[in-house]
Structure 1
Amino acid sequence: MDWQTHARRLADEVVRPESRWHHPLATTPRHVFVPRWWADGDQGWELRDGLADPEAWMRAVYSDQTLVTRLGPLHADDAEADATTTAGKPTSSSTLPGLVVTMYRHAVIADDSRTLVTTGTGYGTALLCRRLGEERVTSVDVDAHLVKVAGERLDSIGLHPHLAACDITGELPGEYDRIVATVSVRPVPASWLRALRPGGRLVTTIAGTGLILTANKTEDGGATGRIEWDRAGFMRTRHGNDYEYPTDDVWETLAQDEAEETFTSRYPLLYPPDAWDVMSMLELQLPGIDYRLSQDGDTRTVGLRYPDGSWARATATGFLEPPVVHQGGPRRLWSALERIRNRLNREGALPVYGARVTITPDGVTTLNRGSWACTL
């Protein structure tokens, strides 16, 4: 199987030939790390087996796309052949190579940087080993099974970084010049600051947002940095075998709940995950909102649900008609969304991207830009 040709093509698509990441991309066999994956099909999630269709396998793994490898607690490696399911949401994946490289570039990795990364399938770890040498790379994941399998696949291509199964939000197994997390956190764990060497740098994303946070360790044990202008979204850190999501019954109940407030919006219907700056601003104010989008013919409904029982649903027919909004509970979720859209309409931009970041030694993280500030 001529995977090298595909890998070189991927490298040419992602970076320029003179980039230090071109050689790792061109010489790392991504297919080794993703032999099976879940594809989002018309009938739900459909299992793809690389060996069953080698040409499709090469096209998928050597394209710049994310491949889901775990739904809920079910690894694609362990699923029955031709499996199809509508249950579960992604809990692990092989991140698109271009975004992995973007995160590494934001880390400003030097040739001698001892670096901690998150494991997942192990592909991103392999790229870093090719770039730095395996002795400078530590890779961790909360899922011991993922760490074991990734270790076996790294070993099969001659790479032996330090691997550990641990909760990345807890104590880390060493000291590092760089920490790069392709999972999202809120706030930045204080353990990262303790594990960073003087002058070290961390790169992560804020949970529930499209915000990349970079920060350099300061002499007082804290860190300062900024929210980058690039966008990225990663799965949240998890502490168990799966995430907790509202069930379909909860959403069906929400769709029938009698509103405490009803009004017609002044704006077209928006599904916040489609507008990362708006979603990020809302998530910073109200962390942990769940979203649901449903469609019946030309009629679309967007649902929002907050852990304290607050809810909102907005329904519109067509794309020009303003939606009718129903909301209830302790907080007015759609009204909070409207205020953000008012600000965007008034000022032309939101202050989240480009914001300065200050992290205290105990992990209290504050963003500010101009007169706007938010503490996580």
Structure 2
Amino acid sequence: MTWKFHAAALSGRVVHPSSRWSRPIATTPRHLLVPHWWRYLPACGWTLRDGGSDPARWMSAAYTDRTLVTRVGPLHADRATAGDHPEGLPTSSSTLPTLVVSMYQHSMITDTSDVLCVTGTGYGTALLAARLGDERVTSVDVDPYLVDTARTRLDAIGHRPTLAVCDITGPLPGTYDRIVSTVGLPGIPASWLSALRPGGRLVTNLAGTGLVVAADVQPDGGARGQVTPERAGFMRTRHAEDYPPPPSTRHAWTAEGETVTTGRYPVVQVKEAWELMTAYALAVPGVHQGYDEDEKGIRTAVMVHADGSWARATGRRGEPPTVHQTGPRQLWDQLDAIRHDWLSDGQLPAHSASVEIDPGGTLHLRRGTWSTTIPAP
């Protein structure tokens, strides 16, 4: 049984046979672009997987519709040994094919579109090259190793698109009809608007929010569009070997707060509640969170902001929690206010909001009477 059987099966699960993405998925050997990856195991953390040592597992992993993490912190799986168990956040991956194709579909790519994408393992780049031809695809990444490795592996499977080492939030190496980012960005870079040709379109995930925005270039140099119905959680873009260390949550787990109150609503794990996560990230960006539930069913959630604010809420499922808070922001009170609006209105407004982007990159989201502004990175 060859990889082509597995790739064809994957294509059938990801798109309809009539889709223009069916053939690219069915003819792209994803396993050759991801020979090593990390798998998180509760007993020992991030654990190396070597495709060549277990071909059956390699085929299963590569042609299952899931994300394969290839880099944790500064350690790429290609450069790791079996005894390595890195700590930290994933910093590169091969995104699940369904999500890659969804981003491309939102981009409204035509057969004559010149497209800029993010390199990673090169899988998304390979799909574009198979669909459009090498000459219409430019792929960039901030990591020279990823770019060099993807170039070698793409060449081995017959694709030679333009690849470049580039921070996608800065100046770009050309002009394009479409810019598609499969990493989360804090906002819309002004460089994108100057790099998009008339009639161009951008699609990206707003980091930490779950939102995907799609917008078309306007004659004034800005862009206008919509938040798409789909949710997505991409890795944040980075500018160095690893992400900057987050603020420590250690003190928030045990310290006495300046104020101690009873919260209005039960403890919830915000990062697992998509709509709530989105609304909170837009209202209070930059909050680092932790969550735990003990053997007695006691839930504890902590929130820490770089400005010194922190909050801890502790309580049983369905019961009002005890809330400790300190600092210039009352982080848990802000969460409760969002949940109150959610219960009052039956929805949170960010999904399906309109998108307007100034020529300088400032992003405005609006829906009804609600609005928020996100500056360019």
Aligned to 2:298: 299
Q: Aligned residues: percent identity?
A: 55
Using the size of structure 2 for normalisation, the TM-score is 0.96
How many angstroms apart in 1 are the aligned matches of 2:187 and 2:180? Answer: 15
Aligned to 1:38: 38
Q: Which amino acid is the alignment partner of residue 338 of structure 2?
A: I
SS at match of 1:255: helix
1:309 aligned to 2:308?
yes
User: Mean alpha-carbon deviation: is it higher for 366-375 or for 294-303?
Assistant: 294-303
Aligned to 1:232: 232
How many angstroms apart in 2 are the aligned matches of 1:62 and 1:245? Answer: 34
Aligned to 1:54: 55
How many angstroms apart in 2 are the aligned matches of 1:234 and 1:254? Answer: 27
1:269 aligned to 2:270?
no
Aligned to 1:245: 245
Q: CA deviation at 1:322?
A: 3.0
SS at match of 2:289: strand
- Give the alignment partner of residue 352 of structure 2, picking from 347, 351, 354: 354
Contact 2:183/2:205 (<8 A) preserved? yes
How many angstroms apart in 1 are the aligned matches of 2:54 and 2:263? Answer: 49
How many angstroms apart in 1 are the aligned matches of 2:349 and 2:318? Answer: 27
Aligned to 2:284: 286
Aligned to 1:165: 165
Q: CA deviation at 1:96?
A: 0.3
Q: CA deviation at 1:295?
A: 3.1
Number of equivalences: 372
Q: CA deviation at 1:159?
A: 0.2
Identify unmatched segments of 5+ residues in structure 1.
none
Using the size of structure 1 for normalisation, the TM-score is 0.97
Contact 1:48/1:82 (<8 A) preserved? no
Aligned to 2:29: 29
Q: CA deviation at 1:2?
A: 1.2
Moved over 6 A (4+): none
Q: Which amino acid is the alignment partner of residue 360 of structure 1?
A: D
User: Mean alpha-carbon deviation: is it higher for 172-181 or for 260-269?
Assistant: 260-269
Aligned to 1:256: 254
Q: Which amino acid is the alignment partner of residue 253 of structure 1?
A: H
Contact 2:252/2:303 (<8 A) preserved? no
How many angstroms apart in 2 are the aligned matches of 1:294 and 1:356? Answer: 36
Aligned to 2:139: 139
Per-residue CA distance 1:239-278 (angstroms, 9 max, x = gap): 111112337xx32222122201222223222111111111
How many angstroms apart in 1 are the aligned matches of 2:76 and 2:353? Answer: 38
Contact 1:31/1:57 (<8 A) preserved? yes
Q: Which amino acid is the alignment partner of residue 138 of structure 1?
A: T
User: Mean alpha-carbon deviation: is it higher for 22-31 or for 257-266?
Assistant: 257-266
Q: CA deviation at 1:17?
A: 0.6
SS at match of 2:292: strand
1:198 aligned to 2:198?
yes
Per-residue CA distance 1:45-78 (angstroms, 9 max, x = gap): 1111111111111111101111110001000010
SS at match of 1:84: coil
Q: Which amino acid is the alignment partner of residue 80 of structure 1?
A: T
Q: CA deviation at 1:305?
A: 1.0
1:148 aligned to 2:148?
yes
Per-residue CA distance 1:84-106 (angstroms, 9 max, x = gap): 34x12101111000000000000
Q: CA deviation at 1:284?
A: 1.1
Q: CA deviation at 1:294?
A: 2.3
How many angstroms apart in 2 are the aligned matches of 1:290 and 1:61? Answer: 32
- Give the alignment partner of residue 333 of structure 1, picking from 331, 334, 347: 331
1:103 aligned to 2:103?
yes
Q: Which amino acid is the alignment partner of residue 240 of structure 1?
A: A
Per-residue CA distance 1:174-231 (angstroms, 9 max, x = gap): 0000000011112200000000000100000112110000000000111001111110
How many angstroms apart in 1 are the aligned matches of 2:246 and 2:224? Answer: 36
Per-residue CA distance 1:118-137 (angstroms, 9 max, x = gap): 00000000011111111000
Identify unmatched segments of 5+ residues in structure 2.
none
Q: CA deviation at 1:82?
A: 4.3
1:75 aligned to 2:76?
yes
User: Mean alpha-carbon deviation: is it higher for 280-289 or for 145-154?
Assistant: 280-289
Contact 2:249/2:303 (<8 A) preserved? no
Q: CA deviation at 1:315?
A: 1.7
